[in-house]
Amino acid sequence: MTDRPADDAGVSDGAVPDGLERSLRNAVGQKTADRLRRAFGYERVGDLVMHVPRRYVTRGELTDLSELQVGDHVTVVAEVRGIDTRETGKRDRRGRPLKVTTVDISDGTDTLQLTFFNSPWITTELHPGVTGMFSGTVSVFRDRRQLTHPEYETFAEEGADPTAWAAEVIPIYPATATLPSKDIRALIRQVLSDLGPIADPVPDDVRREHRLLPLRAALDRLHAPDSEESGRIAMHTLRWHEAFLLETYLLATRAWMQSLPSTPRHAGALLARLDASLPYELTPDQRAVGDEVQADLSSRTSMHRLVQGEVGSGKTLVAIRAMLAVAESGGQTALLAPTEVLASQHLRSIVATLGPDLAAELHPVLLTGQMPAAEQRRALLAIAAGQSRIVVGTHALLSDRVQFVDLGLVVIDEQHRFGVEQRETLRQKGVAPHTLVLTATPIPRTIAMTAFGDLDVSTIRTLPPGRTPIQTHVVGPEAPPAVGQRVWHRVAEEVAKGRQAFVVCPAIAPGDVERGMPEAEDAEGAVPAALADVETWTRLLRTHPGLQTTRVESLTGAMSADEKDAVMRAVVAGEVGVLVATTVIEVGVDVPNATTMVVNDADRFGVSQLHQLRGRVGRGAHPGLCLLRTDAEEGTLARERVDAVAATLDGFALAEIDLEHRREGDVLGTTQSGGRSSLRLLRVTRDRAVIEAARDAALGVLAADPRLERHAALRLAVHRRLDPDARAALTSA
């Protein structure tokens, strides 16, 4: 194997060693490398050879043409049935008569038309009886589906064994108009032929135990299988390979973080004073999770724990109790929240929970990017002087201007809203501070293993006593008009009793969808005429006969920080009867007097998102009611999601349903940065057994060889994924 060029250092996804690191421009030339980068973002040979086929076709089998959809870029295998060339009566740019050649291809039951302009040689290559592979974008002309100027490859070979020819398996790749499947196949075969032997990060004993192919053999079989079954076996090996590297990386990172020396933080008088002042008893889950957190804090190594819990289960109280243990020794806590609304809500909740004496002593402060400059300066001074031992903020906490005296605890609320790099930026403001991550989105076990495998996980399942279950009903298109009108009468009745209501919409204004919401589309792919929006519904509810004397306000992510804070303060104070909002109220908003929620176009939200929204009501002494309005018809996938939320209050069960209905990237949230790549071959809904087996194997390898000194190839692959500081620790003696 030749030496690696200097500019080939590093690996794009950390999962490909040796010659797979080679730059594509050195392997296939600059022009082709540029095409691959523009089409797929690929930079290395390893990226290209991990471009897996989406399916295989056998030359003797034809493609089902009836399944093709207009607008899809497809590769089909079919037989030429007819060909015709005629003049169109028009002329090209050179003044020559414009001729069109049409080729009819068929799978035996359906047909597709190929169209070529001024291409007379086509008739010498395509004629009735020829079978080939055709790639292009499906369009419609005169009510016929067609491919215009498709890429094609005929299967006729002189002297070929007809039986062997018909049985040959051809991989079909995800492709683009500029890089058709046949070109990708040729490029992959080219780089594989030049690749040579490569080291396999999966240890031999692990590979034998799980009946996996060597990495090189798996790549060869994936791209040139002798049967479709052979290709599937290769794919299984590569999925297992990805899972094993990911889990080894996460577990190695976790071991490193747990080894970091940290200042022990012991609970004392501050926590005792808080517990004595609480007007309620901690739930068994709160106490058990709190004990786990306190044990971590009092140890000499850094805590890295995720606390997940149902909406309203009391995660914030667990975090506050941890803050007091840190404050006991003069340490400071930074709570990072994803939005200003949520940060402000957290500060109010912390101050209320602490009570006036503890709050005055610990001086909690808020820091956001939208605060007036004078308020920011005061907050920064209180933080830098150590006067404020509890700091709540948004991304503004990551600024270089923020300096702590003794940052002992970092609390991250809704981790999926932040990247790993952001979490680490805040941690670097202290000396190995403890880290506590909170999430109100219950996490399926497989997601926890793949997204949060470097954290210890604690779960709060029980709700505080006295909570009345929230009633949830679906108001669909099948409901009589009177039922739809009753929704708003019910809101007015609750407000008349002195209670408050939330109305949630997916859009801010007509045609202006809230950022982060998916594109409007129904089950058949049709775009609806309009989505419910905050602006329109605020106006409508202000004119509703039953709400004439009620203050109706709106809240969206497009408002300024001051505007949002003013509205939320009015809501918390009970001055606003109805709040019309987007998903900015999804997490953290705690208004005990709110009893009713109406979600417009509920099918536009995810299952877990609806569960989070529903959790904003029924948090006080009065029962909660959630009404899910939707135009989705019964029996559609969109309606099934809404009905699932109405059927149960179990957020963990709904998280599993959400995972089945959506891509795991949606469940995980935004792509995380800082070294952890997204899943490439694995799908957590399909590959749970693979992920669990790979994690067990990784645990075994690391238990016997914590620094991977006896596993050089695995060590190299893991190091490329590790944080630089963790990498240094792993290499140290």
SS (H, E, C) 329-373: CCCEEEEECCCHHHHHHHHHHHHHHHHHHHHHHHCCEEECCCCCH
% of the chain surpassing 70 pLDDT: 84
Give the integer Cα–Cα distance in Å for 284 and 462: 8
Is 297's pLDDT higher than 80? yes
The model carries a pTM of 0.64
Task: Tell me the pairing of strands 332-336 and 507-509.
Answer: unpaired
Q: What mean pLDDT is predicted for residues 623-638?
A: 89
% of the chain surpassing 90 pLDDT: 38
CB 80 within 8 Å of CB 127: yes
Q: Which region holds residue 396: left if phi is over 0, alpha if psi is between -120 and 50, else beta? A: alpha
Check residue 548 and report its DSSP letter: T
Looking at per-residue confidence, does 727 or 414 come out higher? 414
**Lookup: tokens for 507:** 């859009």
Helix (H) or strand (E) holding 133: strand 131-141
Q: What mean pLDDT is predicted for residues 681-692?
A: 81
In the predicted model, what is the mean pLDDT of the chain?
A: 82
Q: CA nearest 578: which of 514, 509, 639, 499?
A: 499
Helix (H) or strand (E) holding 488: helix 481-496
- What confidence score (pLDDT) does residue 63 get? 66
Q: What is the pLDDT of residues 368-416, one digit of tens each?
A: 988 889 999 999 999 999 999 999 998 899 989 999 999 999 999 875 5
**Cβ neighbours for 245, distance < 8 A, ≥ 6 positions apart:** 14, 15, 201, 714, 717, 718, 721
Is 508's pLDDT higher than 70? yes
- What confidence score (pLDDT) does residue 415 get? 56
- What confidence score (pLDDT) does residue 61 get? 65
Q: CA nearest 163: which of 282, 36, 58?
A: 58
Q: What is the pLDDT of residues 199-247, one digit of tens each?
A: 899 999 999 999 999 999 999 999 999 888 999 999 999 999 988 988 8
**Lookup: tokens for 277:** 């002042």
> Which domains are present in the chain?
1-59+184-198 (no CATH), 60-167 (2.40.50.140), 269-298+313-439 (3.40.50.300), 471-648 (3.40.50.300)
Centroid of chain to Cα 622: 35
